[in-house]
Chain A
Amino acid sequence: MTGGNFSLPHGNSPPPLAGEGQGGGSAGTAGYYDYPVVRRPVWTWEVPAYFWLGGLGAGAFVTASLAQTFGSADDRRIAADGFYVAAAALLPCAPLLIGDLGRPERFHHMLRIFKPLSPMNLGAWTLTGFTPLAFARAGLHAADTGLLRGPLRALVGLVPRRLTELTGCLLGLTLAGYSGVLLGATNVPLWAKSRLLGGVFMASALSSGSAAVTLQAARRGAPEATLHRLATVESAASLGEMAILTGYLVQSGKAARPLTTGRFAPPFWLGAVFAGGLLPLLLHGFARRGHSRTVRSLSTAAAMCSMIGSLALRWSIFEAGKDSSEDQSASFDLSKAGENLGGCGSSI
């Protein structure tokens, strides 16, 4: 018996008749019926919500810290509100991360070892380290503005300002970027095929975080020059996001279909790409030329679009990834011989 030309009848259809079904695979899929190769991720909505808020908080913290170090007096004063944004965004993060566990009461098992090889472990440690830093720096800002008084103010005064900002920036950038690396470190084709997802999530975190700072600045009636600078920073992140997202889609190729043409195409194209990337760039462009009366409302609209778009990006890539895990042929493509060779990261 020679088995080379046998193929599996497709799905529920009867086996091919004589003369049909010549050659391997022509009558159906290459695999075992159309059954998935990898298991469907079990994570639920808490995960993209946490990725979004954690990224946004980290982005706001980094933007605020950079303004403290490099900005004018106005920039420093206005952007410092970003520390409030960071603290507020981080508040629900730990509950979301814990709530998604199968055994939430065992969250602390994540911290019984330090294992940076596992992005999940690294992320848990990063969140644990970054949250108190963000709250300490927000407390310092509250003390600066006179919001905090008495013994609390004295206590917060002990926090080393520059050191908190520097370590906070390092941990914040880790928090902003590890989520995309975590999804990429799986065998889900949409997440793993391209190696740029960590960069996409990082850019999305920074654009939404700086947008949150812009939003708060517009709300507080910041000087126009400061507002423009914040808008420039935000637009730079948005441009970077669109560029690396394009690279991600090109590299993913067919594996990106559940995202680009599937049921998550509307939130992805309209939410993540249009509302989250193109529209804020346009609005900030108009704001640059507009009258000072309209600058504030245009900046506000752009910032809100960017933040919502960032959520749409995480959510659509996350959910489409679950569909992608059931894409048998994409899984086979991902694990083809030679597919994983080359690239500067293949030698660890």
Chain B
Amino acid sequence: MIDGYKRLMNLEEPPPPKKAKGFFTDTSLCIGCKACEVACKQWNQLPADGFAITGNSYDNTGHLGATTWRHVQFIEQAKANGSRQEQRWLMMSDVCKHCANAACLEACPTGALVRTEFDTVYVQQDICNGCGFCVPACPFGVIDRVPKESTFEVGTAHKCTLCYDRLKDDMTPACAKSCPTASIQFGDVEELQQRARQRLGELKARGESTARLYGMPEGKEAAEVGPLHAFFLLLDKPEAYNLPEVPRLPRKTMAERYGWSAAVGIGFAMVAALVFRGGRQ
């Protein structure tokens, strides 16, 4: 009978789970060429964002959004060293983190946001009704809804798919494929984590004392959203890259929020019942 129902509703069996795929973005190798941004736009047929100039740096993209799924930050830093001024330039290609506990996925009321067989987080465009709840739910400011005046698929939420279509054909996502310095590395998450630990050890040995990994299972940033399947090697504090120290998962405080709401409602009902009852005598 269940089989009959599935045939009637045209329900497919979900594909069998595969090894978790993800990105290791090693910012110490990034040269800021933006090939990843371009390759992502080309493969996913995303429209341009216009020619806005931020006036801050060579980063005129500004942030991830509905039609920008890779974003290269140019972080100019200066410090005084005696009478001289030292400068350095940190570059980082930002992307959806494909969290193990994804806030967007939990917020989604339609089930449009799903976890794929590659353990990535994916928006089903034919299901999303553009409620917009995933947008402020994401602690990283990744997912966004397409504005009405866009030339792109209007009204639904979008973010990096980890090139789900390419993964299905055993291909490397467009950004990783195009990266000329191997700053963006694609592969099985477990293997990438190994590689990241090794790379961090190398950098520390060379005196990069502030290098750190962001999004590993043992990191404090994984306390609520879990390990990030797209994780990073950073050369400064997460805040320097606009990354939250401990990204929040809204679910964690939800019971308490409902509790306060219910307490007020029950309190009112009791007071009102007493007041009305007092009028009966």
Contact = CB atoms under 8 A, between A and B. Distances in A.
Contacts of A86: none
B259 A345 contact: yes
Contacts of B269: 62, 66, 169, 173
Contacts of B243: 37
Interface in B240-268: 240-248, 250-265, 267-268
A132 B276 CA distance: 26
Given A8-B76, A345-B253, A33 B248 contact: no
A115 B78 CA distance: 49
Interface stretch (B106-114, B168-176, B191-199): B106-114
Interface stretch (A137-145, A259-267, A276-284, A324-332): A324-332
A1 B83 CA distance: 17
A42 interface: yes
A270 to B, nearest CB: 24
B265 A102 contact: no
Contacts of B138: 38-39, 187
Contact of B256 (A42, A66, A343): A343
A229 B279 contact: yes
A202 B257 contact: no
Given A3-B210, A66-B276, A42 B144 contact: yes
Contact of B79 (A6, A69, A70, A181): A6
Interface string B19-51: 000000000000000000000000000000000
B278 interface: yes
Contacts of B262: 173, 177
29 contacts: A2-B210, A3-B77, A6-B86, A9-B76, A12-B55, A21-B79, A24-B237, A30-B240, A37-B242, A38-B136, A38-B141, A39-B136, A41-B135, A67-B276, A71-B276, A75-B276, A101-B130, A102-B130, A102-B156, A103-B130, A103-B155, A107-B129, A121-B110, A185-B257, A186-B250, A187-B137, A206-B268, A337-B246, A343-B253
Interface of B: 54-57, 62-63, 65, 73, 75-80, 82-88, 103, 106-112, 127-133, 135-148, 154-157, 207-210, 220, 224, 235-237, 239-248, 250-265, 267-269, 271-273, 275-280
Name the 8 nearest CB pairs between A and B, nearest first.
A102-B130, A345-B256, A102-B155, A177-B261, A335-B244, A198-B261, A121-B109, A106-B129
